[in-house]
Structure 1
Amino acid sequence: MNVLTIDIGGTFIKYATMSDDGIILSRGKVETPQNSRNDLIETLAGLYRQEEEKFNIDGMAISLPGIIDSENGYVVMGGALRYNDDFYLRHALYQRCPVRIVMENDAKCAVMAEATVGSLKDVRNGFALIFGTMVGGGFVKDRELYRGKHFSAGEVSYIITSRSVDPSIEGVWGNQCSTLSLCNRYARIKGRPVEEVDGIRFFQAVEDGDPDARSCLDKFAHEVAIQIFNIQNVLDPDRFAIGGGISAQPTLIDAIRTNLNRLYAYCPYHVAQAEVVTCKFQNDANLVGALQCYLADVKDGENVETFDTVREAVLPA
């Protein structure tokens, strides 16, 4: 079985044709359309035609931002791609791609990668935090991805941290504790344009002993530790996995653990302590997870629609 896996990001669409045992047969990336859902559909259809010419594509597995009703192939809210709001994306794709299609939120795909073949595969309940433009999250309960009634379980970005009665967009955790916010905070302290500071440059400054960079990292790690502490007490998972590009930095995980230990040391109550590890998968997490979502869907017998069964619903007479 060959599956075209697609990871739709705010800037680029990464794709890979993978066998069902995870072997990558081909891969590449293209720019993400910024203007309309029609442009997105045409881009995805083009990738399908391109890969179908080289391989026999049995299905498509799509990772994308937003709140996703994966059962019905419906984008409730498009996240970074707001033109996808309120859109039956899978039905539109069936017009161009007559194969089984599975789609899931990008952070939940990353969680599935960790839960099936990564750092959470040996635990019953696990939680993953994925740091990028905002903060993605997902909860694995009894070894299955838990989506919640409104498909938003694990959406930690929208946790309100401001005490204001009317919190601004800056008052949600995803805008306060993302990789972007970390780099921007450091850039402002240094008086540098924000576009000059990325994760690589920031952590190089940490390694070089820059006290401002170290202070920013400690503040960031403290904010992360607080939310891990809170989630641990609400859901009591066996383990937390930290993902996203910056998770490859050992100093980040060390700083989070240090701040967590400090919280537990000062907590006046006996509470369960969170275990924190690094995600196994980095840049390929969403592709690997999309494949795992597809395989789980096939195993469960869900999404039995095919191009023919939805033809009347999506094509004009």
Structure 2
Amino acid sequence: MKSNYLSIDIGGTNIKLALIDHSGQIQSKKQVRTPHEYGAFIATLENEIELVLDEIRGIAFSCPGKIDTETGMISFGGALPFLDGISFIDEFQPKFDVPVSVINDGKAAALSELWLGNLNGIENGLALVLGTGIGGGLILDGKLYQGKNFQAGELSFMMKQSGKPNFEDMYGMTGSAVGLVKKVNLELGTEDTKDGAAAFEAINQKDPSVYPIFEAFAREIAYMICNVQAILDLEKIVIGGGISAQPIVTEEIRKQYRAIRAELPFLANTLTEVEIDSCRFLNDANLLGALYQLLLNADEEMAVNV
């Protein structure tokens, strides 16, 4: 009997693939480079699916872009704009005759935390994913909240008033983890401005030449958390994305959040402090969350057919 599912996390650089069982145990993993032409992209996925088709009960995708989880339709596609207007359900389900699901990558991260991670058992929470921009997934009443247009939790587009509206002042830019690493490396004179290891070596040593840059970044995220908390009154917020593997990231965000509250006693006295923690899952988050979406779809279908 087939006992595994194929979970596929599509990124701008690599496609990650994993065989995962129904309980969320990863059996095997691999990755391939992401083709940036539609025909080659589809051919690569079809080849990888064919390799394990005899072993799987379904295919779960995590993908950039605004995604209708009911139809599998992708809008925009983030770093892969050729995916705009494509439905992975229509593309792959008839070919392979297994259930297919697709979900936005940030929301997949939230689902992984809800299912098996640090939002498990939480009724109202948020996974805040720090990367090129700021993605995320809202958990409300114990379920992923996507919104009418499947775009709830797109925190990058939160704006601050600073004259004429512009993208540079959106939180997705001022709270960009990629931007943080670049700024730190420019200050350090590192040849590769994308070198996260070099940037965080200096940050962890609290190098006085760059630590204020990191503090300012953490304060931006803390202000965002204050704004979200004023609207939603969440129980817990978990910090994800590649940089969250560094404990100092969540620690400094929590420190800045508490500092803001201390500077505004009326705020602290009115709004209860939200718990801020790190995500449990890092590189595997989207793979696990994508599978959980597929399992949720199956449960819903079963309920309808009863």
Q: Which residue of the partner structure matches residue 26 of structure 2?
A: 24
Give me the identity figure in percent.
Answer: 36
Q: 2:14 aligns with which of 12, 15, 28?
A: 12
Q: Which residue of the partner structure matches residue 114 of structure 1?
A: 113
Q: 1:237 aligns with which of 220, 234, 239?
A: 234
Q: Which residue of the partner structure matches residue 307 of structure 1?
A: none
The range that moved more, 38-47 or 258-267, is: 38-47
Q: Which residue of the partner structure matches residue 94 of structure 1?
A: 93
Q: CA deviation at 1:105?
A: 0.3
**Aligned equivalents of 1:99, 1:135: Cα separation in 2:** 33
**Aligned equivalents of 2:79, 2:293: Cα separation in 1:** 22
Q: 1:166 to 1:229 in 2, by over 3 A?
A: closer
**Aligned equivalents of 2:186, 2:277: Cα separation in 1:** 30
Q: 1:17-96 maps to which residues of 2 (within 5 A)?
A: 17-36=19-38, 38-52=39-53, 55-96=54-95
**Aligned equivalents of 2:206, 2:25: Cα separation in 1:** 41
**Aligned equivalents of 2:72, 2:142: Cα separation in 1:** 23
Q: 1:129-278 maps to which residues of 2 (within 5 A)?
A: 129-161=128-160, 163-167=162-166, 169-193=167-191, 195-267=192-264, 268-269=266-267, 270-278=270-278
**Aligned equivalents of 2:303, 2:15: Cα separation in 1:** 24
Q: CA deviation at 1:191?
A: 4.1
Structure 1: any 5+ residue segments left out of the alignment? 305-317
Alignment length (residue pairs): 299
Give the 3-state SS of the residue equivalent to 1:45 in structure 2: helix
Q: CA deviation at 1:265?
A: 1.1
**Contact 1:297–1:303 under 8 Å retained in 2:** no
Give the 3-state SS of the residue equivalent to 1:58 in structure 2: strand
Q: CA deviation at 1:202?
A: 1.2
**Aligned equivalents of 1:150, 1:278: Cα separation in 2:** 28
RMSD between aligned alpha carbons?
Answer: 1.8
Q: Deviations over 1:75-105 (max 9, x none)?
A: 0221121111122232122353321101000
Structure 2: any 5+ residue segments left out of the alignment? none
Q: Deviations over 1:160-216 (max 9, x none)?
A: 23523241x3232112212211011112323444x3442222111122331122111
Q: Which amino acid aligns with 1:35?
A: E
Q: 1:302 to 1:9 in 2, by over 3 A?
A: farther
**Contact 2:74–2:86 under 8 Å retained in 1:** yes
**Aligned equivalents of 2:193, 2:202: Cα separation in 1:** 13
The range that moved more, 10-19 or 156-165, is: 156-165
**Contact 1:102–1:303 under 8 Å retained in 2:** no
**Contact 1:129–1:243 under 8 Å retained in 2:** yes
Q: Which amino acid aligns with 1:292?
A: Y
**Aligned equivalents of 1:155, 1:197: Cα separation in 2:** 24
Give the 3-state SS of the residue equivalent to 1:187 in structure 2: helix
Q: Which residue of the partner structure matches residue 297 of structure 1?
A: 297
**Aligned equivalents of 1:302, 1:47: Cα separation in 2:** 28
